[in-house]
Amino acid sequence: MQIIRTKQELLKQIEACKQRDLTIGLVPTMGALHAGHASLVKRSVNDNQVTIVSVFVNPTQFNNKEDLAKYPRTQEADAEMLAEIGADYMFAPTPEEMYTAEEMNNTFSFDFAGLDQVMEGKMRPGHFNGVVQVVSRLFYLVRPDRAYFGEKDFQQLCIIHHMVERSALKDTFGSLKIIDCPIVREESGLARSSRNARLSATEKKTAVNISRVLFESLEWAKTGSVSEVESRVIDEINAVSGLEVEYYEIVDRTTLQPATDFHNAIGCVTVYCGPVRLIDNIKY
């Protein structure tokens, strides 16, 4: 596997692949790779002749400087894992390589059709602007046939679909297909996340209650209303010492607007486990 640090080198390699008519799969990541990422990369290796994994902690999507500073960075281990799985390239640029000083201030603007006004978008102003900024740039550089995203960041996935399939930018991405990949969980049920690396052993045990309550709520949804299930999920998670729900919303999977029943609905949760902010979701 080759590690690429510059856009120029990336463009050279992509051009060589395009000349040979090879199909390209892109897996955008921020590194600190775990089994969840591995499942995306394996899928890409299986579907495409060439797989490129970007490893870039994108500063423009962090609205909290401390969160950016504390985001785990494990590039050597990431490279080893990717080589083992069979990725062809790891693209790991510096922020200065990706952005001009002006771009670094997140001046990018994009019409989200309201998808950024709820849940993560409401709690983290500018976050999705930064995500769309970096993902669209990666798409322009790599010109992939397929790009792979995890369902754990469900709102992000929804916004990427909107960008590629319905937004004003849609014609600029060629025949790119976005591939949704299911959440990968630990045996305990805890959703795999790079942020889990910041949990102490005790916090990790506590965090298991998030997915436990979400799975139990599938039963409650058989008899309760949307608002009853929402309240019960929040109450049951908050009842666990060490957990604090930031939001739990049951929304339509396409529009992300509040659901009125459980048809095509998904429940998205954000919970503080000690200082670590974790997200998870469940489809009804």
The residues assigned a catalytic role are 37
185 backbone dihedrals φ, ψ, rounded to 5°: -115, 155
| # residues contacting ligand PAF (CB under 6 A) | 10
Q: Which two tokens stand for residue 175?
A: 């025949």
Among 17, 25, 28, 162, binds ligand PAF (CB under 6 A): 28
Based on the number of CB atoms within 10 Å of its own CB, is 209 exposed (0-12), middle (13-18) or buried (19 or more)?
A: buried
Among 30, 81, 147, 273, binds ligand PAF (CB under 6 A): 30
What's the min distance (Å) between Cβ of 57 and ligand PAF? 8
**For the chain, how many residues are written?**
284
Q: Is the CB of 59 or the CB of 258 nearer to ligand PAF?
A: 59
What's the min distance (Å) between Cβ of 163 and ligand PAF? 11
For residue 93, state whether it binds ligand PAF (rule: CB under 6 A): no
Residue 275: CB atoms within 10 Å: 11
For residue 131, state whether it binds ligand PAF (rule: CB under 6 A): yes
Pairing of strands 24-29, 50-55: parallel
Three-class SS of 225-237: CHHHHHHHHHHHH
Among 17, 25, 29, 48, binds ligand PAF (CB under 6 A): 29
For residue 129, state whether it binds ligand PAF (rule: CB under 6 A): no
For residue 230, state whether it binds ligand PAF (rule: CB under 6 A): no
For residue 178, state whether it binds ligand PAF (rule: CB under 6 A): no
CA proximity to 265, closest of 221, 219, 213, 216: 221
Paired with 271 in beta bridges are 245, 278
What's the min distance (Å) between Cβ of 194 and ligand PAF? 8
For residue 155, state whether it binds ligand PAF (rule: CB under 6 A): no
Q: Which stretch binds ligand PAF (CB under 6 A): 102-110, 131-139, 214-222, 244-252?
A: 131-139
Write the DSSP symbol of residue 50: E
CA proximity to 114, closest of 167, 62, 73: 167
Contact residues for ligand PAF, defined by CB under 6 A: 28-30, 58, 61, 131, 134-135, 153, 156
